[in-house]
């Protein structure tokens, strides 16, 4: 299959492809022809460094034109692209880079120090390319030809996005570079995407949602507007300035936009928005009403999905107010089945079961964790552990989180990873981590601690967590208990711990 960026460069060379517009700075823009040529130069540099289709290339940095060009270059040479969350601590980042067997890291100057700090713990890493710094890499890239690079071996590059699991260690979900165009374009037709859409990044590109929908925008030949770092009013400025028609967002950013003072919101025209994709965590009915008061009422779409399984359900604009709590019906090309604890298929409405998906556009394995992949499979159906039910008309409702996963501000946080970090504290005898309701973040991290001695304080637990974990994973609150509720086999009963914090009876069922 022809490289998609090269194809657009040939068909519409002068159309605006990338806009990197930051407050106080002149916008950086690329036409499709310019973006293709610059990506080709980055690709030639990667080839010169010995990158092939089997090479793992980590990229790291905030949203920028250069980052997007690098992502395209990795794909052009057919390598395996591995996005790295720049908010990780050095030990967390070192694990991902080493576990994926990365040989090359491409990082923006702002986070180059992070990579430098982990070099002693990543012996397989042989090359680090720093962009948007002193210009040295850019000067080097200038020396390479702008012609299209043909991958020497293998198909178009795959991706490996790390997502944590119940063991507490992140796992690399591998997706092939070429998947079902039929399934992709069936979703495009359902939502009504158009070639002249303007896509705005609402969230970091390393996240599978904003990054994945930016990839879809590229496939469609859309203009991609990059917000370097989220700011609610600046987000409105970008929507107004570029007549943005579509984006993908978690609940927290849009809540911050919709709760701005009225005089601030009315200073910006929001009428261009046509396709707001709600995901990363459920949008409450109250938040949907806030959005619909500020944006076109037919623009809101909600999807349910995951890094591993892609978009699995879709809820259209006509159903948000009438079906609160629903994430919609199965997306085009997606088959969904629910199974009970005994492995029997759930065929009756309003009965909970673990949700399994069969579709062409899903991941193919967990890197170095094939056993976990098989464990979460039933034949051709795969699960990420979510519990759901459907109503009489086939609309799905997610009843419980993936293996106790917490979604805070659109970020996936896995209790086992936080528990493993806090367990290292001399103040902690035993700990369980749960998600509790948060008006600002949807959920926040809460630690239930069995203290090792009487002088333990919540502040000390939180301070220890800050030394071990990325900021968004650190507990925002701590409570103490004499012991933790457990099953006969010794497994902590997380639902009992969550029950006092949630009004939803399903959270404790």
Tracing tokens 């976990």 back to the chain, one arrives at 372
Q: Under DSSP, is residue 358 helix (H, G, I), strand (E, B) or coil?
A: strand
Residue range 328-354: mean pLDDT, rounded:
94
Which domain-ending residue is among 117, 134, 157? 157
Total number of domains constituting the chain: 2
Buried b (16+ CB within 10 A) or exposed e, 211-249: bbbbbbbbbbbbbbbbbbebbbeebbbbbeebebbbbbb
Q: Is residue 391 part of a domain?
A: no
Residue range 396-412: mean pLDDT, rounded:
81
Confidence tier at 499 by pLDDT (50, 70, 90): confident
Q: What is the pLDDT of residues 19-75, one digit of tens each?
A: 999 999 999 999 999 999 999 999 999 999 999 988 999 999 999 999 999 999 999
Q: What is the pLDDT of residues 262-308, one digit of tens each?
A: 999 999 999 999 999 998 667 778 789 999 999 999 999 999 999 99
Of the chain, the percentage scoring pLDDT greater than 70 comes to 94
Q: Is residue 317 part of a domain?
A: no
Domain of residue 145, residue span: 30-157
Q: Is residue 488 part of a domain?
A: yes
Structure tokens, 87: 């908010």
pLDDT number for residue 81:
96
Q: Is residue 139 part of a domain?
A: yes
Q: What angle do CA 509, 301, 292 make, to 5 degrees?
A: 95
Q: Is residue 102 part of a domain?
A: yes
Taking 90 as the threshold, does the pLDDT of residue 165 lie above it? no
Beta bridge partners of 381: 378
Q: Is residue 89 part of a domain?
A: yes
Taking 50 as the threshold, does the pLDDT of residue 100 lie above it? yes
From the list 330, 342, 350, 359, the residue with the least C-alpha distance to 399 is 350
Q: What is the pLDDT of residues 184-219, one digit of tens each?
A: 999 999 999 999 999 999 999 999 899 999 999 999
Which domain-ending residue is among 110, 138, 157? 157
pLDDT number for residue 166:
41
128: left (phi > 0), else alpha (psi -120 to 50), else beta?
A: beta
What CATH number corresponds to the domain at position 114? 3.40.50.980
**Cα 191 to Cα 187: distance, rounded to the nearest angstrom:** 6
What CATH number corresponds to the domain at position 485? 3.30.300.30
Buried b (16+ CB within 10 A) or exposed e, 409-446: bbbbbbbbbbbbbbeebebbebbbbbbbbbeebbbbbb
Q: Is residue 387 part of a domain?
A: no
Give every CB contact of residue 16 below 8 A, 6+ residues apart in sequence.
Answer: 29, 30, 31, 223
| Whether 442 contacts 251, CB under 8 Å | yes
Provide the 10 A C-beta neighbour count for residue 324: 12
Q: What is the mean pLDDT of the chain?
A: 91
pLDDT number for residue 153:
59
Q: Is residue 239 part of a domain?
A: no
pLDDT number for residue 491:
64
pLDDT number for residue 152:
58
Structure tokens, 11: 């068909």
From the list 2, 3, 4, the residue with the least C-alpha distance to 222 is 4
Which domain-ending residue is among 157, 178, 193? 157
């Amino acid at each position: 299959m022809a490289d998609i960026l090269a194809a657009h460069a040939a068909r519409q060379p002068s159309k605006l492809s990338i806009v990197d517009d930051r407050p106080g700075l002149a916008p950086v823009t690329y036409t499709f022809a310019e973006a293709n040529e610059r990506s080709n130069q980055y690709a030639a540099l990667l080839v010169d460094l010995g990158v092939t289709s089997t090479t793992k290339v980590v990229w790291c940095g905030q949203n920028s034109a250069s980052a997007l060009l690098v992502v395209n270059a990795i794909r052009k040479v057919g390598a395996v692209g591995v996005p790295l969350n720049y908010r990780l601590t050095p030990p967390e980042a070192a694990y991902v880079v080493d576990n994926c067997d990365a040989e090359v890291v491409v990082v923006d100057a702002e986070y180059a120090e992070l990579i430098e700090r982990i070099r002693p713990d990543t012996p397989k890493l042989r090359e680090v390319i720093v962009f948007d710094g002193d210009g040295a890499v850019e000067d080097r890239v200038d020396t390479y030809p702008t012609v299209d690079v043909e991958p020497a071996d293998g198909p178009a590059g795959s991706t490996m996005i790390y997502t944590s699991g119940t063991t507490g260690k992140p796992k690399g979900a591998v997706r092939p570079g070429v998947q079902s165009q039929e399934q992709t374009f069936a979703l495009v037709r359902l939502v009504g995407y158009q070639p002249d859409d303007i896509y705005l990044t609402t969230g970091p590109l390393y996240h599978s949602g904003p990054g994945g929908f930016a990839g879809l925008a590229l496939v469609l030949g859309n203009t991609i507007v990059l917000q370097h770092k989220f700011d609610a009013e600046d987000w409105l400025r970008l929507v107004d300035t570029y007549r943005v028609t579509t984006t993908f967002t978690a609940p927290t950013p849009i809540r911050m936009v919709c709760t701005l003072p009225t005089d601030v919101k009315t200073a910006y025209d929001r009428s261009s928005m046509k396709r707001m994709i709600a995901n990363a965590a459920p949008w409450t009915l109250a938040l949907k009403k806030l959005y619909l008061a500020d944006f076109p009422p037919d623009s809101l779409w909600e999807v349910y999905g995951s890094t591993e399984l892609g978009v699995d359900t879709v809820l259209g604009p006509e159903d948000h107010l009438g079906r609160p709590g629903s994430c919609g019906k199965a997306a085009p090309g997606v088959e969904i089945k629910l199974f009970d604890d005994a492995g029997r298929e759930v065929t009756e409405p309003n009965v909970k079961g673990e949700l399994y998906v069969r579709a062409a556009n899903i991941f193919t394995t967990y890197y170095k964790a094939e056993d976990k992949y098989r464990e979460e499979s039933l034949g051709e159906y795969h699960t990420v552990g979510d519990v759901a039910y459907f109503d009489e008309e086939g609309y799905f409702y997610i009843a419980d989180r993936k293996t106790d996963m917490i979604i805070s501000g659109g970020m996936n946080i896995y209790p086992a990873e936080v528990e493993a970090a806090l367990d290292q504290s001399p103040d902690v005898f035993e700990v369980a981590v749960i998600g509790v309701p948060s008006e600002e973040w949807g959920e926040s991290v809460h630690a239930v601690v069995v203290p090792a001695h009487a002088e333990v304080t919540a502040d000390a637990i939180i301070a220890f967590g800050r030394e071990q974990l990325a900021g968004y994973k650190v507990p925002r609150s701590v409570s103490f208990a004499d012991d933790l509720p457990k099953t006969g086999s010794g497994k902590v009963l997380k639902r009992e711990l969550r029950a006092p914090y949630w009004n939803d009876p399903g959270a404790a069922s």
